[in-house]
């Protein structure tokens, strides 16, 4: 890491630089000693200084045990701005989380979040919004948590419109993207930090900043990995509507405080012993800065508890919500035609089909069959019993598909009586609706064939969200069996039975390919105990 100044130089009167500590988007940070012997952190402001200076003006005289102190703002002989700050020994919370990918001990999480809430609440009480809360800007020194990075702080004015987007996208509240901000954006960011302390992961991640922002705006956070006691707290603090969040950081901290934890720290072990500093000089805690070489500070793993302590229960998997089911169904319905079209490609090549009209009919019938199975399956599970109501529903949808196929083949549909005469039996059965006698017979067999195929098989198992595998050959074999077994119903005068068999098989392929699927975790069989002979 290359710095502008070397050890021993005095670019700012009254201070001697010892070494560079870190660099960030807002400047370079050095460990320095004043002429009187006081150790401080000097930050050279580089770029975006107007944003930095605004934050400093708001926080220059702010004092709190959980905030990194800002002492002074100085200017050197070259007109460069230097920030004189508290020199903090310790490491950032992000460094601690990197060593604990599954989250911190719950008791430590509670203690650290309480300190974070006090620090952010102190800013809010004085009309200041931090705007960049994240683990990289939170530090621990001798058991005391401190919040740094005042470069983005801003006082709250009557207008809450913001023209420049600030903060880190992983911790950015949805309303920031529209230029609106308030104290609630800090609460949202603190909730993301709390989620990360509990699970080791952030609630929203993606391949690009745009994807992450879209998830903040539209997606519901998955809280299944969070201890149940914290889920309602995080759900409220991460609400898309800032008016539905907590009224203040103190209110949110008050909700976290009474939670009883299964994992407890040993008696007598406090935060000061967990994160006590033994780090050598040189680790600065300051805004938006990447540390040079951070010495590790041990955070103990959850202690072994006595046998009387109950083991934590497995966290249940949350069932899909109505919104999840609706989104999955709409996506499946939109993707089904594409899969049907892809399935017709090998059939067209093998059959050497050159009739585009015939292929289009197969495509339309296959698509409607796939839609019928997806819609008729509803919320059925893989192990759903053979309920007649579900078979009747699928059969009725099959009748509609048969009527559609009948119409696609160019057969005459029913018309008002008087257009064409029919036999007396037909007139008795259908009253004022009539159609040619040959069309009537063909249409009935179309309906019975497709209706019978959809009513015969357990096609909901191919569309069930909890099916064992996304794609299986057994439903294809079943489709081939039933479509061949019911060929006695096929209207042979309409053409080759391939017009019925091919769309059914391709539709089952499409249903499996596009239907929502949640893979189930494999459970390992328990080992058998072998009893030795005495």
Active site residues: 132
Judged by DSSP in three states, 28 sits in: strand
Which of 20, 61, 9, 18 lies closest to 43, judged by CA? Answer: 20
Paired tokens of 265: 């720290």
Separation CA 204–CA 408 (nearest Å): 47
Cβ contact 340:512 at 8 Å: no
Give the residue from 222, 190, 191, 188 showing the smallest Cα distance to 205. 222
**Rounded Cα distance, 513 and 507, in Å:** 10
Q: Burial letters for 130-168: b for 16+ Cβ neighbours within 10 Å, e otherwise?
A: bbbbbbbbbbbbebbbbbbbbbbbbeeeeeeebeeebbb
Q: Which of 1, 26, 149, 136 is nearest to 86 (CA)?
A: 149
Question: In angstroms, how far apart are the furthest CA atoms of the chain?
Answer: 117
Residues whose CB is less than 8 angstroms from the CB of residue 410 and which lie 6 or more positions away in sequence, other chains included: none
Environment class of 389 (CB within 10 Å of its CB; exposed 0-12, middle 13-18, buried 19+): exposed
For residues 459 and 451, what is the distance between their CA atoms, to the nearest angstrom? Answer: 13
- Report yes or no: 32 and 17 within 8 Å, Cβ to Cβ: yes
Helix-then-strand count for the chain, H and E = 16, 13
Q: What are phi and psi of 51, to 5 degrees?
A: -70, -45
How far is 3 from 292, CA to CA, in rounded Å? 11
Residue pointed to by tokens 């600065």: 284
First to last CA, the chain: 69
């Amino acid at each position: 890491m290359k710095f502008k100044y070397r050890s021993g130089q005095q670019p700012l009167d009254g201070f001697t630089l010892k070494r560079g500590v870190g660099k960030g988007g807002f400047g370079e940070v050095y460990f320095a000693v004043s002429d009187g012997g006081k150790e401080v952190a000097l930050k050279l402001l580089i770029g975006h200084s107007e944003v930095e200076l605004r934050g400093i003006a708001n926080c220059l005289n702010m004092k709190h045990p959980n905030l990194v102190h800002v002492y002074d703002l100085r200017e050197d002989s070259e007109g460069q701005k230097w920030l004189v700050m508290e020199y903090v020994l310790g490491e950032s919370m992000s460094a601690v989380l990197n060593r604990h990918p599954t989250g911190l001990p719950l008791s430590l999480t509670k203690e650290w979040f309480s300190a974070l809430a006090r620090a952010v609440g102190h800013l809010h009480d004085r009309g200041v919004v931090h705007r960049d809360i994240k683990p990289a800007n939170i530090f621990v020194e001798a058991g005391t948590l401190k919040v740094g990075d005042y470069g983005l702080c801003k006082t709250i004015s009557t207008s809450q419109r913001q023209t420049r987007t600030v903060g880190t996208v992983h911790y950015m509240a949805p309303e920031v993207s529209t230029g609106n901000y308030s104290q609630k954006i800090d609460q949202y960011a603190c909730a993301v930090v709390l989620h990360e302390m509990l699970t080791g992961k952030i609630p929203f991640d993606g391949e690009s900043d745009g994807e992450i922002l879209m998830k903040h705006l539209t997606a519901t956070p998955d809280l299944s990995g969070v201890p149940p006691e914290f889920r309602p707290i995080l759900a409220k603090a991460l609400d898309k509507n800032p008016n539905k969040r907590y009224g203040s950081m103190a209110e949110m901290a008050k909700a976290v405080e009474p939670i009883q934890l299964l994992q407890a720290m040993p008696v007598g072990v406090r935060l000061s012993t967990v994160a006590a500093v033994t780090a050598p000089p040189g680790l600065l805690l300051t805004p938006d800065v990447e540390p040079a070489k951070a010495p590790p500070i041990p955070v103990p793993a959850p202690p072994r508890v006595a046998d009387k302590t109950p083991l934590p229960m497995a966290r249940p998997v949350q069932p899909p919500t109505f919104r999840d089911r609706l989104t999955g169904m709409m996506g499946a319905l939109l993707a089904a035609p594409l899969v049907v079209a892809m399935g017709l490609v090998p059939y067209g090549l093998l059959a050497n089909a050159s009739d585009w009209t015939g292929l289009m009919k197969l495509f339309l019938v296959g698509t409607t069959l796939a839609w019928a199975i997806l819609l008729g399956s509803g919320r059925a599970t893989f192990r759903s019993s053979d309920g007649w109501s579900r078979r009747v529903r699928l059969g009725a949808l099959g009748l509609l598909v048969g009527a559609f196929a009948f119409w696609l083949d160019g057969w005459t549909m029913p018309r008002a009586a008087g257009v064409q005469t029919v036999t007396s039996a037909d007139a008795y059965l259908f009253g004022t609706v009539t159609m040619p006698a040959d069309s009537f017979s063909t249409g009935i067999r179309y309906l019975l064939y497709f209706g019978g195929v959809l009513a015969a098989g357990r096609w909901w198992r191919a569309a069930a969200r909890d099916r064992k595998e996304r794609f299986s050959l057994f439903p294809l074999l079943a489709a081939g069996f039933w479509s061949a077994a019911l060929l006695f119903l096929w209207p042979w005068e309409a053409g080759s039975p391939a017009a019925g068999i091919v769309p059914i098989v391709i539709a089952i392929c499409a249903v499996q390919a596009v239907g929502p699927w949640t893979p189930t975790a494999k459970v390992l069989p328990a080992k058998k105990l072998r009893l030795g002979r005495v």
